[in-house]
Amino acid sequence: MSGGHQFTALAAGYSFTCGLKAGGEVWCWGFNASGSLGDGTTTNSQSPVQVFSAVTFASISIGATGTHACALSTTGEAYCWGDNTYGQVGNGTSSGGVSSPVTVSTGLTFATITAGGYHTCAVTSLGSMYCWGRNYAGEIGDGTPDQRDTPVPVTTF
């Protein structure tokens, strides 16, 4: 137990950390310039602040660069927040920061989600993979170097 919080999962990035509580709440702390703490502000916090959302979350992931986070709800919907310079939040835009969770633009439900450096990928319960965000080196896997602001299927051969 930390500061009265009991966490069941933890995700740590370059400059902030998030914990998932048993009841599905996410709490984050650290650097918040791009809204990466998800509390609706851009104010840094040295202690946990609750992510601003009425959603019950089942898992959490923080990008390797520590600028955005994504989580899955208990019903498999994807939500992301934080830096969105390259569309890694997946809401159809690629501008600035998103300071509270937004639904990833898709009608899909996911089983897992992983936030990368400046992109995000998720796998459906049927095993299909979708990615979005920065793609200059082909990290989205759709056969192009084009940035994607919403999920696109990973190309299979």
Q: Which residues pair with 120 in a beta bridge?
A: 115, 132
Write the CATH number for 73.
Answer: 2.130.10.30
> Residue 1: its pLDDT value, please?
47
Domain limits at 89?
7-153
pLDDT at 2 (0 to 100): 55
Q: Is 32 among the domain residues?
A: yes
Count of structural domains, the chain: 1
Distance (Å, whole) CA 1 – CA 48: 13
109-139 tens-digit pLDDT: 999 999 999 999 999 999 999 999 999 999 9
H/E stretch holding 112 reads strand 110-115
